[in-house]
């Protein structure tokens, strides 16, 4: 039992570290609290709460893994390396995909409950979000290259 409690304390230490040092994790946690609060205010059913929970924890888990990847890459290769940069970008892409998934879930469930929107609105908004992010990233990259 002592080993188990020690493992839990290490995990909690890691959780505090990611919360303390990662701005995106704080933002995602804030939105998670809003989503959970809305879930109870709107009296969502069990299935809806499970979907909201899945989306939230999926994003938080991947953000934690992305932080792990970034820290490991910085430790292994402290100087700039294009392969390390690509590895970090891939980790960030996983978080972006999860965040897009969570937006679709939130719009489908909350939009349906609050505005009586059909589920296809969630898909449309999710796709629009991804296109917006990609377009913004491409435009930002083009600005850097023009300098």
Which pLDDT value is given to residue 50?
Answer: 98
d(CA 69, CA 81) in angstroms, rounded, equals 14
Q: For every one of its 147 residues, what pLDDT tens digit does the chain have, with 9 covering 90 and above?
A: 789 999 999 999 999 999 999 999 999 999 999 999 999 999 999 999 999 999 999 999 999 999 999 999 999 999 999 999 999 999 999 999 999 899 999 999 999 999 999 999 888 987 888 888 888 878 776 655 444
Exposed/middle/buried for 131, CB within 10 Å: 0-12, 13-18, 19+? exposed
Which pLDDT value is given to residue 135?
Answer: 87
Choosing among 3.40.47.10, 1.10.287.3610, 3.40.50.150, 3.40.50.880, the CATH entry for 23-146 is 1.10.287.3610
Which pLDDT value is given to residue 143?
Answer: 58
Q: E strand or H helix at 108, and its extent? A: none
Return the domain boundaries, the chain: 23-146
Runs of H (alpha helix) within the chain: 2-21, 23-41, 46-76, 82-106, 112-115, 120-146
Which pLDDT value is given to residue 79?
Answer: 93
d(CA 91, CA 80) in angstroms, rounded, equals 17
């Amino acid at each position: 039992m002592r080993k188990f409690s020690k493992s839990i304390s290490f995990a909690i230490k890691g959780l505090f570290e990611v919360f303390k040092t990662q701005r995106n994790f704080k933002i995602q946690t804030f939105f998670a609290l809003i989503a959970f609060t809305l879930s109870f205010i709107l009296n969502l059913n069990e299935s809806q709460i499970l979907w909201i929970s899945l989306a939230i924890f999926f994003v938080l888990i991947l953000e934690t893994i992305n932080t792990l990847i970034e820290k490991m890459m910085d430790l292994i290769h402290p100087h700039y390396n294009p392969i390390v940069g690509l590895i970090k970008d891939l980790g960030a892409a996983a978080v972006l995909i999860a965040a897009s998934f969570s937006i679709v879930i939130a719009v489908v469930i909350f939009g349906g409950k609050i505005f009586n929107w059909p589920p296809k609105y969630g898909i449309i908004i999710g796709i629009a979000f991804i296109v917006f992010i990609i377009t913004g990233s491409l435009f930002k990259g083009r600005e850097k290259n023009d300098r």
